[in-house]
C-alpha cells in the first residue's frame, strides 16, 4: 500500500500529468496536491493497467513474515480489502529539497493462511490455519526522499531514494486465528485478548 501511496504522491506533485484525473499542482502547493490526491485515489484503487498500476482493492501478498521477540509469524495468500475506502489525510511536497510526506487513513480486512510459533510476552503461542484481521482507522505516515534520475527514455523521472513510515491504529483491530492452540478456542481467545 505504501509504495502505491508514495507513487501517488510523487505523481500528484508533478507539474504536468498524463492521467486526465490528476490535476497538476505547483511545487509546494500542498492544498492543491491534497485535493488532487483525494480526487485521484478512487481511480487508483481498481488499478490503472495503462500506467502499470495494479489493483489496490483487493491487494494480494504471497507471503508476509515477521519475527517479534521470539514469535515467528507467517501469513500466506493474504488478501487485503478496503483500500478503496482509504482517505488521504495530508500531503506535503517540496521538490526543491526532494522531500515528500504523506498520511493515509484506512480501514482494512486481511484474510489468508497463518502459522504462528513461539512466545509472546509470557504466553507460548502455536497455531496454523485461516486468519481474519479487521483493522479500523489505521493512520499510515510516510516520509520520502526523492531524487531525479534520467530514465531509459532519456526523460527525467523521480526515484524514491529513502523512506520511512509509521502507523497508528486509532479505533482498533479484531483478530481471528482458526486452530490457535490446536483449536482450543477458550485458550486462544484469552491469549489474544491479553496480548492484543
Q: What is the mean pLDDT of residues 68-79?
A: 91
41 conformational bin, left if phi > 0, alpha if psi -120 to 50, beta if neither: alpha
122, pLDDT greater than 80 = no
pLDDT band at 77 (very low <50, low <70, confident <90, very high): very high
pLDDT of residue 191: 65
Domains with residue ranges and CATH for the chain: 2-195 (3.15.10.30)
pLDDT band at 134 (very low <50, low <70, confident <90, very high): very high
pLDDT per residue as tens digits for the range 88-108: 999 988 888 889 999 999 999
pLDDT of residue 103: 95
Cell representation of residue 193: 485478548
pLDDT of residue 15: 40
pLDDT of residue 138: 94
Of residues 6 and 74, more confidence is placed in: 74
- Strand-strand pairing, 59-68 and 71-81: antiparallel
pLDDT of residue 5: 52
pTM of the entire structure? 0.77
pLDDT of residue 114: 96
143, pLDDT greater than 70 = yes
Of residues 186 and 40, more confidence is placed in: 40
159, pLDDT greater than 50 = yes
Is the preceding peptide bond at 143 cis, omega within 30 degrees of 0? Answer: no
Q: What is the mean pLDDT of residues 146-172?
A: 89
Asked if residue 102 lies in contact with residue 86, where contact means CB atoms within 8 angstroms, the answer is no
pLDDT per residue as tens digits for the range 4-59: 554 555 454 444 446 777 888 887 888 998 998 888 888 888 888 887 888 889 99
Amino acid at each position: 500500500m505504501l509504495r502505491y501511496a508514495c507513487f501517488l504522491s510523487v505523481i500528484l506533485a508533478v507539474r504536468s500529468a498524463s492521467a486526465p484525473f490528476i490535476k497538476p499542482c505547483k511545487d509546494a502547493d500542498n492544498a492543491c496536491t491534497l485535493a488532487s490526491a483525494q480526487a485521484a485515489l478512487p481511480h487508483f484503487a481498481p488499478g490503472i493497467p495503462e500506467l502499470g498500476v495494479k489493483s489496490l482493492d483487493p491487494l494480494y501478498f504471497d507471503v508476509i513474515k515477521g519475527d517479534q521477540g521470539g514469535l515467528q509469524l507467517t501469513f500466506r495468500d493474504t488478501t487485503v480489502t478496503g483500500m478503496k475506502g482509504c482517505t488521504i489525510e495530508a500531503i506535503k511536497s517540496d521538490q526543491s529539497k526532494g522531500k515528500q510526506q504523506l498520511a493515509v487513513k484506512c480501514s482494512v480486512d486481511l484474510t489468508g493462511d497463518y502459522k504462528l510459533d513461539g512466545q509472546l510476552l509470557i504466553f507460548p503461542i502455536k497455531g496454523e490455519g485461516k486468519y481474519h484481521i479487521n483493522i479500523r482507522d489505521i493512520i499510515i505516515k510516510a516520509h520520502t526522499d526523492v531524487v531525479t534520475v534520467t530514465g531509459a527514455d532519456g526523460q527525467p523521472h523521480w526515484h524514491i531514494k529513502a523512506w520511512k513510515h509509521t502507523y497508528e491504529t486509532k479505533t482498533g483491530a479484531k483478530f481471528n486465528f482458526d486452530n490457535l492452540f490446536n483449536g482450543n478456542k477458550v485458550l486462544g481467545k484469552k491469549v489474544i485478548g491479553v496480548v492484543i
